[in-house]
A and B are shown apart, each in its own frame.
Chain A
Amino acid sequence: MNLCELTIHDLAEKLQKRECSSEEITRSVLEQIQRLDSKIHSYLWVNEEYALAQAKFADQKLKSGNNLNPLLGIPIGVKDIFLTKGVPTTCASKILENFIPVYDATVISKLKQLGAVIVGKLNMDEFAMGSTTEGSAFGPTRNPWALDRIPGGSSGGSSASVCADMCIASLGTDTGGSIRQPSACCGVVGIKPTYGRVSRFGIIAYASSLDQVGPITKDVLDSAIMLEAIAGYDPKDSTSVPKEVPKYNKALTGEVKALRIGLPKEYFVEGIDPEVEQALKQSARVLEKLGAELIEVSLPHTEYCIACYYIVAPAEASSNLARYDGVKYGLRVSEPGSILNMYKATRDQGFGAEVKRRILIGTYTLSAGYYSAYYLKAQKVRTLIKKDFEQAFQKCDVILTPVLPTTAYQLGTKINDPLEMYLADIFTVSCNLAGLPGMSVPCGFSKEGLPIGMQILANHFEEEKIFKVAYAYEQNTEWHKQKPKLSLF
């Protein structure tokens, strides 16, 4: 077995025992990228020297002994939405094609301080707007399980790279499902923490009241290790919450007795692929056998989530993306005439179709005369959606749902029908609207051999409950151990 195929916790143990070095692990990861990424295209930027220098530094630290930090020397890939000092950061957009940040995002500083090896920058939908990674200005990422399928999005590079062992774990961001949906599509573990749990400082903003950072990993223990590393209050992000970060691995007891698992009745209706529904129901039974109690709960405003989300998110996006004007950084397209021409030419050439579409929707719903009909209305519906969850969590500890209604679909199928793509986000957007934590865990495969994920949601700052359930499930199933047949490539 190659080192790149192992988990963080396996490798941390090997490093402690001096069975391998960070340089060896990093070389194994780089070789895997060399071998596979021309077909998968999960990285937008990777640099051998940059990675190996960090690995050698980690090896020196490891030699100096008694370091029990599990991320020291572990190769991590990060979505190209995180500012990385001195390293190109494009957000998969032409408008930032040559942008080189002068500081690190807080989560990047944290990983660096712990001695993790940043391998490179991962592909995504442009400005994190999309569910397929086809929206990248630099070409799509493909699903390692089947190259004609999407890896999910917007953190598709982050999920595909972990799935195909091109990094040991990765960081993504999630505004309406962008960590959980690609994790489900690629059969890996992805968590979106509670809004405010992780600092957003240095993350290119899409929709500020919804965006959150989280890890994508090969198993639940790695997820706990990564979240603990990046979580916590940051004075540079006033929306991060000053709450102590728990030792998440302590929640991994394997014990779910008497835990109440809610199944929302509104989520198991028309339009859901029978194989996905079947996998979910079987997973619920696994947990029931382990002693958990299954309860039917109701989230009555589920059918309004998509409309609510696709008003709120583009509105915030249209405001956040006003900064790309060709003045201080990024692309500038000069044109004779007034400065207005420069703005328009720059934004015309710099932004792709989905980004323009969302800016238009957002500008429209915020404009005079439409604000109350759309934006204010959506904010009120957001309150109703939040209340649905408050009521449900009085009856149960966690909620179990599908992540997306189907398995990973073929590239090209929804790119020309935005509304249809939006509708497939039905199970993931409510979590962001309510600010809740949610995880996708592998829970089965379709007949075609594509992974299926289940979503575990909990109340604000109750990530430990999610970890508890996910770990117990993982200990009693084998899904997470299955790997795509990468040797066939």
Chain B
Amino acid sequence: MKITRKEVEYVAHLARLRLSPEEAEKFTSQLDQILVYFEKLNQLDTSNIEPTSHPIPMVNAFREDVVKPSIDVEEALVNAPDKEGNFFKVPKIIE
């Protein structure tokens, strides 16, 4: 076993996912299969290989720091599940 159900549940918590007992069961066996498959990469010696995070050679993309038009407050709030005045509204965070 590469991964236990307990680990899957912990990772789900990190990802802010909630899994039903059936989901946790199913994902554990599927993830285990997938992680076993990933082991294949260990056949390769990569000790002297640089990692690639971006496929095209690029240096930092800088631009002038100037103010440009953006969406206004009303537009920014138009899709908000809950709002009050000019703010997004969320359940109480500080007890």
Contacts and interface: CB of A to CB of B under 8 A. Distances in A.
Interface of A: 98-100, 102-103, 194-196, 209-210, 235, 238-239, 241, 301, 303-304, 306-308, 310-311, 318, 322, 325-332, 334, 338-340, 342-345, 347-348, 351, 353, 356-357, 359-361, 363-365, 367, 374, 376-384, 386, 418-419, 422, 432-435, 460
A328 B56 contact: no
A383 B15 contact: no
Contacts of B90: 327, 339, 342
A450 to B, nearest CB: 28
Nearest to A360: B11
B17 A344 contact: yes
Contact of A194 (B18, B56, B75): B56
A328 to B, nearest CB: 6
Contact of B82 (A332, A384, A418): A332
B90 to A, nearest CB: 6
Contacts of B71: 102-103
Given A344-B17, A351-B17, A307 B41 contact: yes
B78 to A, nearest CB: 6
Contact of B11 (A239, A339, A367): A367
Contact of B91 (A331, A338, A422): A338
Given A100-B78, A328-B88, A343 B61 contact: no
Interface of B: 3, 7-8, 11-12, 14-19, 23, 27, 30-31, 33-35, 37-38, 40-44, 46, 49-56, 58, 61, 63, 71, 75-76, 78-82, 88, 90-93
A343 B16 contact: yes
B30 A381 contact: no
Contact of B17 (A326, A332, A360, A433): A360
A383 B49 contact: yes
B44 A379 contact: no
Contacts of A325: 16
A345 B81 CA distance: 14
Q: Which are the 5 A-B pairs with shortest beta-carbon distances? A: A435-B55, A379-B51, A332-B81, A329-B79, A238-B61
A347 B18 CA distance: 8
A144 B37 CA distance: 34
Contact of B27 (A326, A357, A383): A357
Query: Taking each of B23, B41, B54, which has the highest tally of chain A beta carbons within 10 Å of its own beta carbon?
Result: B41
Given A318-B15, A359-B15, A361-B31, A304 B80 contact: no
A318 B35 CA distance: 16
A418 B34 contact: yes
Nearest to B30: A418
Contact of A380 (B15, B46, B56, B81): B46
Nearest to A435: B55
A345 B17 CA distance: 8
A363 B14 contact: yes
B51 A376 contact: yes
Contacts of A374: 38
Nearest to A98: B79
Query: Taking each of A322, A339, A360, which has the highest tally of chain B beta carbons within 10 Å of its own beta carbon?
Result: A360
A342 B90 CA distance: 9
12 contacts: A102-B78, A102-B79, A304-B44, A308-B41, A327-B80, A338-B91, A344-B18, A347-B16, A380-B46, A382-B51, A419-B34, A422-B34
B95 to A, nearest CB: 8
B8 A386 contact: no
Nearest to A242: B61
Contacts of A348: 17-19
Contact of A330 (B46, B79, B82, B93): B79
B25 to A, nearest CB: 13
B64 to A, nearest CB: 10
Contacts of B14: 363, 367
B91 A330 contact: no
A383 B78 contact: no
Contact of A307 (B19, B33, B37, B80): B37
B22 to A, nearest CB: 11
Contacts of B75: 102
Query: Taking each of B23, B38, B44, B53, which has the highest tally of chain A beta carbons within 10 Å of its own beta carbon?
Result: B38
